[in-house]
Amino acid sequence: MVRLQKFLADAGVASRRAGEQIILEGRVAVNGHVVRLLGSKVDPDHDQVAVDGKVVRPKKLIYAALNKPVGCVCSRKDELNRPTIYELLPREWETVQSVGRLDYNSEGLIFLTNDGQFALRLTHPRYGIRKKYLVTVEGEVTAATLELFKRGIFHEGEKLKALAARIVSGTRHKCVVELELGEGKNREVRRLFESQAITVKKLQRTQIGKIRLGELKPGKWRTLNAVEIKTLNTDL
């Protein structure tokens, strides 16, 4: 059961606030009966909702995970005419948007959905959903550098901070580091290393919440199952 104004918003009829006004105006009927009470609930699978006499079909909600490859952007259109992640998706998924972004040279796990509330909850800083990254850099990374990342640094007026950091493998010439972040500020991982004059050669996001990239190949996608969606909402 969902609130009637949420049903209208999810179906693309109106925003929640505008939906409330439509309900108060007596323009909404549920199973043939006009409903004016805000907070009324409907069952999208069984109840018939109509606005101004026209039946409203519930929008099919899409939740997908994509392994974004290097060399494409997370915008629907790019001013430089570069490939976009949306070219990797089914054409009928016209309403989905990426949940956050990965830059052109980064790769890895990214979610796509047409559920605006789900996307907002996953990206809002106050929820602090954790994300893991594998970063390959030039040269050696010391334990002191990782401790600095965990304490936090100020860069371009923002505090950047890793919740966890560890060296996966390393030599004097190359190092692989795993970072875990809670906020995901713009280019935060790259900026952490840039602040210490460390060159990033490869950046891959491997996990969001409890959902791992796993065996998903670059450029491929899969839908999230009900348990995974519930897990992400529980994480929040």
Residues 229 and 118 in one domain: yes
Based on the residue annotation, tell me whether 103 is a catalytic residue of this protein: yes
Domain final residue, candidates 10, 38, 56:
56
Are residues 228 and 203 both part of a single domain? no
- Same domain membership, residue 204 and residue 151: yes
Same domain for 70 and 115, yes or no, is yes
pLDDT, tens digit (0-9, with 9 covering 90-100), for 93-103: 988 999 999 99
pLDDT in tens, 10-36: 888 888 899 999 999 999 999 999 999
DSSP 76: S
| Candidates 10, 43, 47, 103; catalytic one | 103
In this structure, the answer to whether residues 101 and 150 fall within a common structural domain is no
Select from 56, 78, 96 the last residue of a domain.
56
pLDDT value, residue 120: 86
- Helix, strand, or coil (residue 111): strand
Helix or strand run (H / E) with residue 218? none
Per-residue pLDDT reduced to its tens digit, 35-67: 999 989 999 889 999 999 999 988 788 999 999
Residue 9: C-alpha distances to residues 2, 17, 35, 62, 98 (Å): 11, 9, 16, 15, 19
What residues contact 52, with CB distance under 8 A and at least 6 apart?
27
Residues 145 and 203 in one domain: yes
Distance CA 141, CA 123 (A): 29
Whether residue 112 is predicted with pLDDT greater than 60 in this model: the reply is yes
> What φ, ψ does residue 23 adopt, rounded to 5°?
-65, -45
CATH number of the domain that 52 lies in?
Answer: 3.10.290.10
Same-domain status, 70 and 40: no
Q: What is the CATH number of the domain that holds 142?
A: 3.30.2350.10
Q: Which of 36-45, 63-72, 153-162 has the highest mean pLDDT?
A: 63-72
Per-residue CA distances from 28 to 11, 56, 103, 212 (Å): 13, 10, 43, 42
Tell whether 16 and 121 lie within a shared domain.
no
Check whether residue 115 and residue 216 sit in a common domain.
Answer: yes
143 and 203 belong to one structural domain: yes
Please name the residue ranges forming H helices in 76-219.
116-123, 143-151, 188-194
In angstroms, the first-to-last Cα distance of the chain is 21
Mean pLDDT of all residues in the chain? 93
pLDDT of residue 235: 58
In the chain, the number of structural domains is 3
Helices (H), the chain: 4-10, 16-24, 116-123, 143-151, 188-194, 226-235
Q: Does 196 lie in the same domain as 135?
A: yes
Answer yes or no: is pLDDT of 236 > 70.
no
Instruction: Give pLDDT, residue 177.
Output: 98
| Full residue range of the structural domain in which residue 113 is found | 63-125+211-235
Q: What is the pTM of this model?
A: 0.81
Per-residue pLDDT at 105: 97
Does residue 216 sit in the same domain as residue 115? yes
8 A C-beta contact, residue 42 and residue 193: no
**Looking at residue 77, which CATH number applies to its domain?**
3.30.70.580
Percent of the chain with pLDDT over 90: 76
